[in-house]
Amino acid sequence: MMAGPGGESPAGGGPARHIPVLLREVLEALHPLEGHSFIDGTFGAGGYTTALLEAGGSVTAIDRDPTAIAAGQALVDKWDGRLRLVENRFSRLDEVVDAPVDGVVLDIGVSSMQIDEAVRGFSFQKEGPLDMRMERTGLSAADVVNTMKAGDLARIFGILGEERQAGRIARGLERLRTEKPFETTLDLANAVEKIVGRRPQEKIHPATRVFQGLRIYVNDELGELARALFAAERALKPGGRLVVVTFHSLEDRIVKRFMAERAGGSGGSRHLPQVHEAAPLFQKPAKSVSPSKEETDVNPRARSARLRLAVRTDAPAGDVDFDIVGLSRFPRPTRAGER
């Protein structure tokens, strides 16, 4: 999976395709041995899965994109019983295995394959339908920008896209869509550029963060990530390793907070009465890891990647508590005929 930060160009893409980010570091963190079992919650083009299989492990690989699952069938045949592909959301990863596993790896974001296929509607640099749905079901990006109120669009662009001119863009889109609904990626990209303008020296397209916010919202990426972290907690055996690669601060903040809280990082206050503290569910998280210059020179999409590792303790899995990861809530629009 390859996803860029708000300040980069994840929707526009670049020359690199299907390169697993931080592969060496992921393998070092997972420490795969022959006979170990793993869940690759974001199969994509199979980079991590293949490396784990080559190390002697068995893998249950999950992807919500049916195209990725179909493309991976050749790997299933090649590895003869050690790879199982499951079309599902990684937030349900604990439901697709029968026994606890030795490791879970999550590579968060939109994949290179999705970015590079114009028909998927992720890229503002390629003409295509304004879609962005990983599963190709449910509300599309076009549904969102053509039906939601300006205030709600501004929150999506501002919070999920980290766009500083979110309000101005949202009001402009609300006005422009009355003349003609947005149907294609270039419809939206050109509209954003018309609203905010673009200086000749600017390298980043003004629609970059708008597309990021829409993509995250349409696929509920942050909610899925939070649910996947709790699912991994349930799926890992004692000593099992959770490895997560993120690509921008929104994702990384959720992972960092989850790992710290589940390792007993709250600490409490010395001014309040002492309360019984639950046993930590993970060991103290390791320091995050970033790509080397050599890797980013080869694969520019890796620039903002960050790897975090946490090791499961033998304490029983805890209750799901979304407050610890600080998720923002957004309304969901409805299409004609839906309630």
pLDDT of residue 207 exceeding 80: yes
Q: How many whole angstroms separate alpha carbon 185 and alpha carbon 141?
A: 9
Instruction: Give the per-residue pLDDT at 197.
Output: 93
Say which range, 26-35, 82-91, 199-208, 306-315, has the weakest mean pLDDT.
199-208
Instruction: Give the per-residue pLDDT at 80.
Output: 84
Q: Report the relative pairing of strands 306-311 and 236-246 from DSSP bridges.
A: antiparallel
- The percentage of the chain sitting over the pLDDT mark of 90, rounded to a whole number, equals 71
Mean pLDDT of 101-123: 66
**The CA-based dihedral angle spanning residues 74, 78, 83, 86, taken in that order and rounded to the nearest 10 degrees:** 10
Instruction: Give the per-residue pLDDT at 203.
Output: 80
Instruction: Give the per-residue pLDDT at 329.
Output: 84
DSSP 298-338: H-GGGTT-EEEEEEB-SSPP----GGGGT---------TT-
- Compare 124 and 66 and report the one with higher pLDDT: 66
pLDDT of residue 109 exceeding 80: no
Mean pLDDT of 295-309: 93
Q: How many whole angstroms separate alpha carbon 11 and alpha carbon 122?
A: 6
Mean pLDDT of 159-172: 97
Residues 281, 286, 292: CA angle, nearest 5 degrees: 145
Q: Looking at the chain, how many residues does it have?
A: 339
Instruction: Give the per-residue pLDDT at 274.
Output: 47
* Each residue's pLDDT tens digit, 50-81: 999 999 999 999 999 888 999 999 999 999 89
